[in-house]
Amino acid sequence: MSVSKAKADEAPALVLFRTDRRVADNRALLAASESGAPVAAAFVLDEESPGLRATGGAKRWWLHHSLKALAGRLQQLGVELTMRRGPMAEVVRGLLRETGAEKVYWNRRYHPVEHGIDRDLKTDLQARGIEVADFGGFLLHEPDSLRTKAGGPFKIYAPFVRALFSGREAWEPVAPPKRLRPWGGRLRSDRLEDWGLLPTKPNWAGRFSEVWTPGEAAGLERLAAFVRDGVGRYAQARDLSGQNNSSKLSAHLAHGEITPAQVLRAVAEADGVGAEGKEKFRRELAWRDFCHHLLFHNPDLATKPFNPLFERFPYRGDPEELRAWRRGQTGYPIVDAAMRELWTFGAMPNRLRLIAGSFLVKHLLTDWREGEAWFWDTLVDADPANNAYNWQWIAGSGPDPAPYFRIFNPITQGQKFDPEGDHIRRHVPELARLRGESIHTPWEATQAELRAAGVELGVTYPWPIVDHGQARERALAAFRLARGREQG
């Protein structure tokens, strides 16, 4: 790419980066580069506009590294990424004043609060004679564009996915700009290090980088690896938590480092891979659009049960039990492995999110919002739509949910999805030497087995915090009570 800087007095096209920290398949950047004006780029960290939810800790860790990667990538293209912090509208107006830019380009955001901020900003800027161009990319669809036959938003996944894919196999991502003409002026930029996005005391993210590399280049590499080695066995093996079978693309998608269009295109073009894996993957990826569709039309998805029956659900909410769940000390190995993996690496596979989530809501009778909040803070892929929807699904309170009476059995789920106990051994080292089935039920092991494995229940590893059978009955009784209240 050739780089020749434009003069400082030539008005630039300003590209705003937010949840689109990439150069490829970035329609805003492409349009700016084709506008004829030199390009100035900025990232705005908005933690102040009313209604925004504070970004969780693990996601902030990712954001820091993601911004570093984006700044580096843009620098290769000759463009400096200006970093500013403050309310979006105020900061953008300031940048326009400082640069003299008369054109602004951004990719759309779909969280209802962010969407509202951008809509108001666009109206305001246009009234001042600034040209604003915004683009899709974060999702496969525009949440306002897909409607049921009755004209409303979708609430059920199956018809949604039919509508989403009707007549389309894959989407067409756009190429990175062939040429960027950087703006010649200079803007004051904050120092990323001063934003305090990384944890320090203690540095609980110390091991994240063993498994994650934030940034567009790493996201594209991971996508290529999945297309090469993963999608072929995805349909059969996605749920086996002891293996590394899913794409691990969720954080790159949540941070906009890659787009679902790029992912679908790459998977559709995978060589020598049967249709089954591709189709299964396509349908999983579509959940992401479905969740965002629901959040767009239901701004309270993370805070308000969709089904009013759950407004006054008789949750117990025991703080000690919540603490034990968060720390992976419930005495159920598959749950504990999941929760410790989450804390140590900022993620866990989907099946384990379901098992651990169900355990909190049903076995411990704790409000799903506690779980949602913990995941929000600890997941590197924390996503306002995917997280909220899936927690409501588990709780039975959401649109198109799991029926409440479907209660995951943490023992049989462990046996089925981590049959050799590999995942448990990796994340709960104090059980690593237990043999055979006892890895899923240490409390049923003989004294000799426990001794040989160096396990002392109640000392090195907890007894089960609740009895599975009793907890199940208690959860069902709570549901009957809630339903009785509603009907009475």
Contact set with ligand FAD (CB under 6 A): 238, 246-250, 253-254, 284-285, 287-288, 291, 349-350, 353-354, 357, 375, 379, 381-383, 386-387, 390-391, 394
Question: Whole-number minimum distance, CB 419 to ligand FAD, in Å?
Answer: 19
Q: Smallest gap, in angstroms, from Cβ of residue 379 to ligand FAD? A: 5
Q: Residues 38, 123: contact at Cβ < 8 Å? A: no
User: Between residues 285 and 339, which has the closer beta carbon with respect to ligand FAD?
Assistant: 285
Q: CA neighbours within 13 Å on the CB side: how many for 180?
A: 27
Specify which residues 132 forms β-bridges with. Answer: 104
Residues 181, 32: Cα–Cα separation, whole Å = 10
Smallest gap from residue 346 Cβ to ligand FAD (A): 11
CB of 244 to ligand FAD, least distance (A): 9
Q: How far apart are CA 13 and CA 35, in angstroms?
A: 8
**CB nearer ligand FAD, residue 134 or residue 381:** 381
Contact 249, 258 (CB under 8 A): yes
Q: How distant is the alpha carbon of residue 443 from its chain centre?
A: 35
Alpha helix positions (H), 35-111:
57-76, 88-99
Indicate the residue among 27 and 288 with the shorter CB distance to ligand FAD. 288
- When the beta carbons of 11 and 402 are compared against ligand FAD, the nearer one is 402
Cα distance between residue 223 and residue 249, in whole Å: 7
Residue 392 vs 438, nearer CB to ligand FAD? 392
In the complex with ligand FAD, the residue whose CB is nearer, 79 or 394, is: 394
Minimum distance from residue 226 beta carbon to ligand FAD (Å): 7
Q: Which residues pair with 131 in a beta bridge?
A: 103
Give the shortest CB-356-to-ligand FAD separation in angstroms. 8
- Helix/strand number for the chain, H first, E second: 20, 5
Which one, 66 or 250, has the nearer CB to ligand FAD? 250
Give the span between the Cα atoms of 417 and 270, in whole angstroms. 27
Q: How far is the CB of 461 from ligand FAD (least distance, A)?
A: 25
CA atoms of 61 and 238, how far apart (whole Å): 27
Q: How far apart are CA 194 and CA 138, in angstroms?
A: 28
